[in-house]
Every structure is written in C-alpha cells, then in structure tokens.
Amino acid sequence: MDTEEDRPRKRPQIVIGEELAMLSVDELNRRIEALEQEIRRYKAAIAEKEKSKDTANSVFKLSR
C-alpha cells in the first residue's frame, strides 16, 4: 500500500497575495523553497540573456 511519502507531491499552487493563515508551517516552508527555486531559475535566465546580449554587442563592435 502507498504511504503519503511514496506518492509524488504536487507543486503548491502559489498565488501572490493570498491569505496565509490557513497554511501549515510545513506548507509555508515548501512554498518558500519552491519560490526560491523559481527565483534561481529566473536569475539563470537573466544571466543567459545578458551573456547573449554581451556577445552580440562585442561582435557588432568588432565589425565597425
């Protein structure tokens, strides 16, 4: 029989500004971790875009 730990956890649906009073400490901690992971993902995407932009700028500066 499956236990709760054996089942995959659904990612919490996070709504910015939602009421937090009904959430447990564990749920709040899971949401914090999910948000921190998402922030890291966003920062990595920004770094990649800046790298691409810098590369393109250096190519165009060399061709002038």
* Pair of tokens at residue 62: 């060399």
Give the predicted TM-score (pTM) of the model: 0.63
8: pLDDT confidence band, cut at 50, 70 and 90? confident
- Find the mean pLDDT for residues 1-19: 76
Cβ density class 10-42: b for 16+ within 10 Å, e for less: eeeeeeeeeeeeeeeeeeeebbeeeeeeeeeee
pLDDT at 64: 56
pLDDT at 11: 60
> Which residues, in sequence order, are CB contacts of 9 under 8 Å at separation 6+?
30
pLDDT at 19: 96
* pLDDT tens digit sequence for 17-46: 999 999 999 999 999 999 999 999 999 999
